[in-house]
Chain A
Amino acid sequence: MTSRTTTPPSPAAAAVPPVPAPPTAAPRRRPGRAGRTGGRLPLLLVLPTLVLLVAALGYPVGWQLVTSLRKFGLQQQFGAPPEWVGLDNYVRLVTDPTLWAVVVRSVVFCLVTAFVTVAVGGAVAVLMNSVGRWARLVLQVSLLLAWAMPVVAAMTVWIWIVDWRRGLLNWLLVHVGVEGAAGHNWLAQPLSFFVVASVVVVWMSVPFVALSIYAGLTQVGQEVVEASMLDGAGGWQRLRYIYAPLVAPVLSIVLLLQVIWDLRVFTQIKLLQDAGSVANETNLLGTYVYQLGTGKGDFGTASAVSVLMLLLTVALSWRYVRSLMAQEN
C-alpha cells in the first residue's frame, strides 16, 4: 500500500471519491516511511475508529448473532424469556424454498444491476473524457444533480413516471405508437418490476461510478496519449491498451462496492413494493429480512437471514476481496 502514490483527482473530478489507485497506476516514488511499523502510533490512530465501531455496532451485531440462535418473536420482545434453539432457525431457513427463491432473485438482481451500472458508468466516463470542456461540465452537473436527489424524493418521482395511469412512460409509449402501453402496469409483474427497480438503482448509482472511473481516466498522462496518437493508435486501441489496464483496478473496486450495495438494496425495493406489485414475489434479501422481523415479528429467523446474507455477500465478493488484500500486502 505504502509503495504507491495516488494522484489526487483533477479539478474536473470534483466531488469524486478517488478510488485507491492500483500499484501499476503510479509507482513513482517510495514514500519515506514505507514499511515502518511506527510503534504504538498507528494503533493510537485506529483507536477512535475501533471505539466508535464497537460502541455503535458491537451490541447490535452481537444481539443479532445471539438472536439468530434463539426463538425470538414478539412474545420475547415483550418480556417472555427467549429460548435457545441452536441452529434451528438456520435449518428451517435453508430447507425452505422461499429463502432460496429470494436468494436467487437477489443474486441475479445484484449482479445484473451492478454490471450494468459499471458498464454504463464506464461508458459515461469515457464519454466525459472525450468531449469538450462545456459538454463535460453539463454532463458532470447532471450526474451531480441525480446524485444529490434524496432517495425518498427520487423514488417518488420514479414511481410517478411509471404510474400506470398518469405516468410519463406510458404516455410516451402511446405517443410513439405503442397503443397497448395505455394503462399498462409495470409494477404488477415481477419481471417488469425488477426491470424498473434495476433502472432506478442504475440511475442512482451511475454518477458515483462514472465520476470515479473518470477520475481514474484523468490519471493517464497526456504525454502517453499524445505519443500513442503519433504512433497511429486509433481511439479503440488507445482505450484497449492505454486506458483499460490503468483503469481496470478502479473498475474492479467500483464493481465490488456495487455488488455489496446492490445485494443489500432495501429502500428502493420497499418503496416500489408499497407503490404496487406483489410483495412476496418481489422480495429481495433486504425486504425479506424486514418483512420477517418488522412485519411478522419473528426476529430470530430475521436475524438468521441477516447472518446468511452476510455470508452470501462474503462468498460473492471473496475473490475480489482476496486480490484486494493481496495488493494490501
Chain B
Amino acid sequence: MNRRLPLVLVTSAALALTACSSGGGSDEPAATNTADNAGKTVTLWLAGGDTPDELRTYLKDTFKARTGATLSIEEQAWPDLVTKLTTALPDAENTPDVVELGNTQSPTFTNVGAFLDVSDMYDELGGSKLLNSFVEAGSVDGKKYALPYYFGSRYMFYRKDVWKKAGVEMPTTLDQFNTDVAKIATDNPDQIKNFSGFFIGGQDWRNGISWIFANGGDLAKQENGKWVSTLSDANSLKGLEQIQQIQRLASKAPADAKDQSPWLYINDSDTVLDADGKPAGTTSLAAATIMAPGWAHGSIGDLTKQDGKDVRVWNDDTFGVFALPGNDGKPAPVFAGGSNIAISAKSKNPALAKELMKIVFSADYQQKLGAAGLGPANSDYVSSLGDDQFAKALVESASNSKLTPAAPGWAAVESAQVLEEFFGKIRTTDDLAGLAKQYDDKITPMLNLS
C-alpha cells in the first residue's frame, strides 16, 4: 500500500496539470491511472434529498469513467447531519471523503480543522467566480476549506386573486410590502377565519432576518477578533419592529411555527365533503402570501389528478412570485440558503476526492444543478437556471442575499435554537429592545469557540 502512495500523488499532480491546461472543461481525457483505482471507493455524503437522482448517477458514472474508482453516495438527513459529521469526520477509518453540509454549518467545522485545505485548486474550480459569501463561510485565515455546492434563495409566493380583491398593488419597497400584507389580513376579502396577509411562523427566523438585513442590521459582527451578537443595534431593531408589526397585524401563524411547509396555507386544497360525500366547498386557504425556497413551487397550485394521483399544478391566474423588495431599489437581502462541499481532512483518498471536486465544479455538472433548479456555485452558469418566473425570482433575490455570520460558534447558536426562541417571543413582548439585548447577551458567548 505504502509503495503505491507516491505513485498516486504523482498521477494526481499530473491530472491537476492536465485539468488546468484544459481549463476545467467537462470533456477531459480519462485519467491514466484508472486500473490502479479500480478497487478504491470514495464516499460522498449528500445532505437531504436536494440533489436529484439523475445528478447522483451522473456523478457516479463520470467518476468511474475518469478515475476507475467507485463513488459511493450516502444520503444523510439534515437534522442528523451535525451528529454524523461530529462522529465520523475525525475517524480516519470511516470518514466520508467528501461531504455536503449547510453553508451556515461550514464555519464551525472549518474552524476545528475538519476539512482539507483546497486553496491549491481553488482557482481551477472556479476561483472568484464562486459564490463569495459561501467561500467566506468555508475559509479560515484566507485558506479555502469548504466551497459552495449550490444556493437557493427565498422569495415570495402570493395569491393574485386575494391581493386583487383586497385592492393592493404589487409592492416596490419593503415598507409598502409591510403595509400591503397588513391590509390584506385586516380586509380579509374572503372572510376566512384566521387569515394571514403574510404567513410567517413565530419562530421562523430564517425568513424573518430578511427584515433585519433590509434595514441595514445584522445578526453579529466581529470586534477586535471577537464575535458579538448585534440584535439590539439600532438598525437591527428597526427590522425587528417591522417583524413585530407583521406578526401582530399580518400573520396568524402560531408563535411556535418554524419555516416548514408554509405552502400548505396558500393552496386552495381541501374539498370538504358533506355527509353524502358531496363537496361542501370550504377550502383551507389561510394565507395570501408566503416566503419559501424556490423549489416550493412544485407544491403550490391547483389540485389535479394525473395518472390517478393528486398533484399540484401551478396556475398563473391564481399564483404569482416576486422577490422581496428592499427600501433602496434593490431586492431585500434575504437569507441565502444552500450548501457547501468539502473534503475531509482525514480522507484516505485525497487525490481521488479532489477529482470528485473537479467533477462537481465542472461546467457540465454546474449546468445540471441549474437545470434542476439549484443555484450553481459558479456564477458563469447561473443562466442554466432558465428564464421562467421562478428562475428570475431566484436570481433576483439571490443577487443581494446574505449569509448568517461566519462565526465559529454559529452552528451552536442554530442547534441550540436560540433564534427560534427569540423570534417566538417578538409578537408578545412589550420591550423589544430589552428582549433583543437579553438575547445578545445569550448569543455572544456562543459565537466564539474558546
Interface residues of A (CB under 8 A from B): 73-75, 77-80, 164-165, 182-183, 185, 187-188, 274, 276-281, 291, 294-298
Contact = CB atoms under 8 A, between A and B. Distances in A.
B86 A182 contact: no
Contact of B417 (A75, A79, A187, A280): A280
A190 B258 CA distance: 16
Contacts of A164: 254
Contact of A188 (B254, B411, B416): B254
Interface stretch (B5-13, B107-115, B147-155, B168-176): B107-115
Given A74-B86, A74-B108, A188-B256, A294 B203 contact: no
Among the interface residues A73, A183, A276, which one has the most CB atoms of the partner chain B within 10 A? A276
6 contacts: A75-B112, A164-B254, A276-B254, A278-B256, A280-B421, A297-B412
A78 B416 contact: no
Given A77-B86, A185-B254, A278 B412 contact: no
Interface of B: 79, 82-83, 86, 89-90, 108-109, 112-114, 193-194, 202-203, 252, 254-258, 284, 286, 411-412, 415-418, 420-421, 424, 446, 449
A92 to B, nearest CB: 12
A71 to B, nearest CB: 9
B80 to A, nearest CB: 9
* Chain A contact residues: helix, strand, loop or mixed: loop
B256 A183 contact: no
Contacts of B412: 295-298
Given A78-B89, A297-B86, A279 B194 contact: no
A280 B443 CA distance: 13
A77 B194 CA distance: 48
Given A280-B416, A297-B108, 12 more contacts: A74-B86, A74-B109, A75-B449, A78-B89, A183-B193, A185-B255, A185-B257, A274-B79, A294-B83, A295-B416, A296-B412, A297-B411
Query: Would you list the 10 A-B pairs with minimal beta carbon distance, nearest first?
Result: A295-B415, A185-B254, A188-B256, A296-B412, A78-B112, A279-B417, A276-B256, A74-B112, A278-B421, A294-B83
Contact of B86 (A165, A274, A277, A294): A294
A182 B193 contact: yes
A326 B91 CA distance: 47
Nearest to B252: A183
A89 to B, nearest CB: 14
A165 B259 CA distance: 15
B256 A280 contact: no
A278 B82 CA distance: 20
Contacts of A182: 193-194
B37 to A, nearest CB: 28
A294 B418 contact: no
A187 B193 CA distance: 21
A185 B255 CA distance: 9
Contacts of A188: 202, 254-256, 424
A280 B446 CA distance: 15
A177 to B, nearest CB: 16
Contacts of A77: 86, 90, 112
A296 B415 contact: yes
Contact of A79 (B83, B90, B109, B256): B90
Contacts of B449: 73-75
Nearest to A279: B417
A183 B194 contact: yes
B418 A280 contact: yes
A242 to B, nearest CB: 50
Contacts of A298: 412
Contacts of A295: 82, 412, 415-416
Contacts of B418: 280
Given A74-B86, A183-B194, A276 B415 contact: no
A291 B79 CA distance: 12
Contacts of A74: 86, 108-109, 112, 449
Contact of B256 (A80, A277, A296): A277
Contacts of B252: 183
A296 B449 CA distance: 10
B398 to A, nearest CB: 28
A294 B82 contact: yes
Among the interface residues B194, B415, B418, B420, which one has the most CB atoms of the partner chain A within 10 A? B415
Contact of A291 (B109, B202, B203, B415): B415
Among the interface residues A164, A281, A295, which one has the most CB atoms of the partner chain B within 10 A? A295
Contact of A276 (B79, B194, B257, B416): B257
A54 to B, nearest CB: 23
A165 B252 CA distance: 12
Contacts of A276: 254, 256-258
B264 to A, nearest CB: 8
Given A74-B108, A274-B79, A291 B416 contact: yes
A314 B286 CA distance: 51
Given A74-B86, A78-B114, A279-B421, A294 B257 contact: no
A121 to B, nearest CB: 32
A112 B286 CA distance: 38
A82 to B, nearest CB: 13
Nearest to B446: A296
A285 to B, nearest CB: 16
Nearest to B418: A280
Contacts of B109: 74
Nearest to B442: A280
B298 to A, nearest CB: 21
Contacts of A183: 193-194, 252, 254
Contact of B420 (A73, A279, A291, A296): A279
A119 B83 CA distance: 38
A294 to B, nearest CB: 5
Contacts of A296: 412, 415-416, 446
Contacts of B108: 74, 297
A25 B201 CA distance: 58
A294 B415 contact: yes
